[in-house]
Amino acid sequence: MRNNSGNKLSRPVLNRVVFTVLATIMLIVLGWLSAWWLKGHSAAALNQVNYFANPFRIVFLVYIFIEETVDLFWSPRIPQPRDEIIHSWYHWRLVMWESILVLAVFSDLMGILPVSENFIPRWVGTGLLVIGLIIYTKASLDRRVSQQRNPDLPFPNRGIFHSLRFPDSFSAFFTAFGTAFIFNSWVGIFLAVLTTVILIGHVNSQDQLMLKKYASPWADYQSKVKKWIPYIW
């Protein structure tokens, strides 16, 4: 997963981060507007679908800004070479993420199929998001350090990559379930399960692509390091 990354903040990275933040906020707004419309799209309905009435929804916004700050300052300038991206799987990952976010927000504001009436699911969701963010941040930093120290290294194999071959996809697993739980949504959890299936398919296809591209170095890496869970898978 080699790429060349400089120390300066580049405009493409800034543009990517700004776009991601705005797109995520717009997805939240879409879920909120859908709930508001069904509630009667009146001034009185605004109180019933007040996004900021629940502090955990604000926590999610903070999480998004922290994640994008990691991208802005610490991730590599080009996270992955284009010939290592399986666009069909990546497309479905994005579709599922958008679906989870919009429908989880919508069902939370509408009160449809809540996981629980207390705050336990939302605390669980916060914890899952934190775990996913730690894994994502560690992978971003280790990939960037690896590229800076040894630009000719075909793929990173130190730090978190010494324990997991695909930590970015593993972090997406925690993000999917964390989002579903923080919005207290069974609908979101169902979509998170479907997302996990897609993530596993993506990882398996990515593994085959990397073996085809790097041959014996990747085969040796495969024999020593598991995909997601050390010593298991």
Q: What is the DSSP string of 101-118?
A: HHHHHHHHHHT-SBS-SS
| SS3 state at 185 | strand
Instruction: Look at residue 231 in the predicted model and tell me its pLDDT.
Output: 84
Instruction: Look at residue 6 in the predicted model and tell me its pLDDT.
Output: 43
- Taking residue 44's Cβ as centre, other Cβ atoms within 10 Å add up to 8
Say how far apart CA 106 and CA 188 lie, in whole Å: 10
Local confidence pLDDT in tens for the 233 residues of the chain:
433 344 455 666 677 778 888 999 999 999 999 999 999 888 888 888 999 999 999 999 999 999 888 877 776 655 566 777 888 898 999 999 999 999 999 999 999 999 998 999 999 999 999 999 999 999 988 988 887 788 778 888 889 999 999 999 999 999 999 999 999 999 999 999 999 999 999 999 999 999 999 999 999 999 999 999 988 88
Q: What is the DSSP string of 126-146?
A: HHHHHHHHHHHHHHHHHHHHH
Instruction: Look at residue 12 in the predicted model and tell me its pLDDT.
Output: 67
Domains within the chain, CATH numbers bracketed: 11-224 (1.20.120.1630)
Cα 53-95-214 angle, rounded to 5 deg: 125
Say how far apart CA 52 and CA 106 lie, in whole Å: 14
Question: What's this model's pTM, rounded to 2 decimal places?
Answer: 0.89
Of 132, 136, 133, 161, the C-alpha closest to 146 is 161
Say how far apart CA 232 and CA 228 lie, in whole Å: 8
